[in-house]
Structure 1
């Protein structure tokens, strides 16, 4: 699936015959047994984005990440050599969770010179080496060099920190991302440091929420404020301009009507006053755009949504971007993390513009989230198991196929070879 075809008019899915065009099953989103396989096959083998370099700005800066799908806690820290590393959040003495504040299951962050276990006082430096043991003579030939923190594979692409739990990852991070994603090299992510974060806990499988942002077929029904019928061409379908697949990753690009070109009655009053909202501030700083941002060469390009397998999406709107992460917590629940990132505001007005955009975008995202519980409950009845997908839902089809493929590959590797 590494080719970038330019499809014939009106067709996307048929250019990927391995995807098929028939109805699909969503049993991969309702089965507890499948989820357990998915945890091992996907979330313990793929590269996972856990943060950005701005979250560890100086030597000793750290944060922890609780990853339910892998049943682990991770420490990400910048060492004295300015390198960013990741470690399992486990003291090597008796297995106590090493870094936490008031509640051991909650994530935390800060700056320190070393990590000290609350239980028996063992200490580790920023590079993970064991540096101090209480009453070392009480142990039996303890070799400190053997008991440093257990590392997790960690790498950085364009400021995004990724980890991989596989003892021997099959690909480097850059190989895993592939040319479609690395085509974003040169986009100034490092300059977009004013962030507005939010988290939501959802009663649905993680893939069901990801599906909502892989197609815009639902927009006229679920988000009529986004593209009101009154401003669409008569009888015109609401379609995306470009879909693309590269390995396990996906891309959808759209053009569409700019918010400020709509009649005032179709905008929130706060949008009219602040000149900001669903598509971000109406004025954004000039930003150099790499060729990979608009691979479909859409003349009236508006948004490109890069969906990095398994659970990361980066939606780029030119001068700013929106990020989503979907973290499974069970077969039918997940934690949704999101943030908007802008150039640092230069005036109070720009700060207001950014805050309004963040709030309006959150509202639209939560409109999607509000559908999920009903979707999950209906799927779990098992009454229907063949769902037709249209050509605009090619990426929904692709995500579920890739997850199943990874699970089947994992299972095949664990079947003893026939003698």
Structure 2
């Protein structure tokens, strides 16, 4: 699948970095469910929600060892604003001309432990979430391009795609940090993952499996306590 993504043909990229007061897994999980689009991104998230799918549930999910995938639902009538339609329309035309408009335009890969990549030809990006400490993380967003800017229209389409992605992620910040404050309070002892949070549950299980293996390894190599009789012998 990665070979068919626009990023596989990229020759350059644009990047921005953010830091957030939230654990890396909580930050990561925000991008593994789509129902928040309706509430956090009512305008920018319009292409992935609609009357037939108001919560933006994915078309399908896939699980591949520690990794997972989803195909994002497409609103057949997103009604974009004029500037948005013009900008992404140009980006789509350039993608067709460049040969980067492949079969994975709505596929979203979550590669363990902390990497995302989207196959959108108009806004192909990756997102890596790095832990800083238990309650803080750093995100690195890269948008990938094939070839250098050869005209003002291409530069404009790329700049708009970059600004749009940054604005969407800025909208996510408050809700992610609010979730971390809720966890810090200790009010919730358990989180129950629902059917549409299967990707979040899968990440939890993948991380927990490795944490438990690490703890078992530490226990097996820890020095054995010396009894009183052995100490006196």
Q: TM-score range by the shorter chain?
A: 0.7 to 0.9
C-alpha distance in structure 2 between counterparts of 1:187 and 1:390, whole Å: 30
Does 2:177 align with 1:377? no
> Which protein is richer in helix relative to its size?
2
- For structure 2, the 5+ residue unaligned runs are 225-233
CA contact (8 A) 1:303 1:318 kept: no
Deviations 1:142-199 (A, max 9, x none): xxxxxxxxxxxxxxxxxxxxxxxxxxxxxxxxxxxxxxxxx42354635322322100
Which residue does 1:316 correspond to in 2? 119
CA contact (8 A) 2:6 2:144 kept: no
Q: What is the CA distance between 1:353 and its match in structure 2? A: 0.5
Does 2:94 align with 1:281? no
**SS at the partner of 2:138?**
strand
- The alignment's TM-score, normalised by the length of structure 1, stands at 0.47
CA contact (8 A) 1:319 1:342 kept: no
Q: Which of 167, 192, 201 lines up with 1:388 in the alignment? A: 192
Does 2:220 align with 1:416? yes
Which residue does 1:250 correspond to in 2? 68
| RMSD between superposed Cα atoms in Å | 2.6
C-alpha distance in structure 2 between counterparts of 1:409 and 1:210, whole Å: 22
C-alpha distance in structure 2 between counterparts of 1:186 and 1:194, whole Å: 17
User: Relative contact order, CA 8 A, sep 6+: which one is greater?
Assistant: 2
C-alpha distance in structure 2 between counterparts of 1:234 and 1:318, whole Å: 24
Q: What is the CA distance between 1:282 and its match in structure 2? A: 3.4
Does 2:137 align with 1:334? yes
What does 1:107-122 correspond to in 2, within 5 Å? none
Q: What is the CA distance between 1:413 and its match in structure 2? A: 1.7
Q: What is the CA distance between 1:227 and its match in structure 2? A: 4.8
Q: Which of 233, 251, 255 lines up with 2:51 in the alignment? A: 233
Which residue does 2:152 correspond to in 1? 348
Deviations 1:320-359 (A, max 9, x none): 5201111111000011111111222332101100110110
C-alpha distance in structure 1 between counterparts of 2:209 and 2:55, whole Å: 32
Larger Rg belongs to: 1
- The alignment's TM-score, normalised by the length of structure 2, stands at 0.82
Count of residue correspondences = 217
Does 2:86 align with 1:270? no
C-alpha distance in structure 2 between counterparts of 1:270 and 1:188, whole Å: 23
Which residue does 2:172 correspond to in 1? 368
Which residue does 1:209 correspond to in 2? 27
C-alpha distance in structure 1 between counterparts of 2:102 and 2:200, whole Å: 27
Q: What is the CA distance between 1:319 and its match in structure 2? A: 6.0
What does 1:9-408 correspond to in 2, within 5 Å? 183-185=1-3, 187=5, 189-228=7-46, 232-233=50-51, 236-257=54-75, 261-263=77-79, 266-267=80-81, 269-272=82-85, 274-276=86-88, 281-283=91-93, 284-285=95-96, 286-287=99-100, 289=102, 293=104, 302-318=105-121, 321-344=124-147, 345-408=149-212
Q: What is the CA distance between 1:375 and its match in structure 2? A: 1.0
Q: CA separation of 1:332/1:366 partners in 2, compared to 1, >3 Å: closer, same or farther?
A: same
C-alpha distance in structure 1 between counterparts of 2:92 and 2:4, whole Å: 23
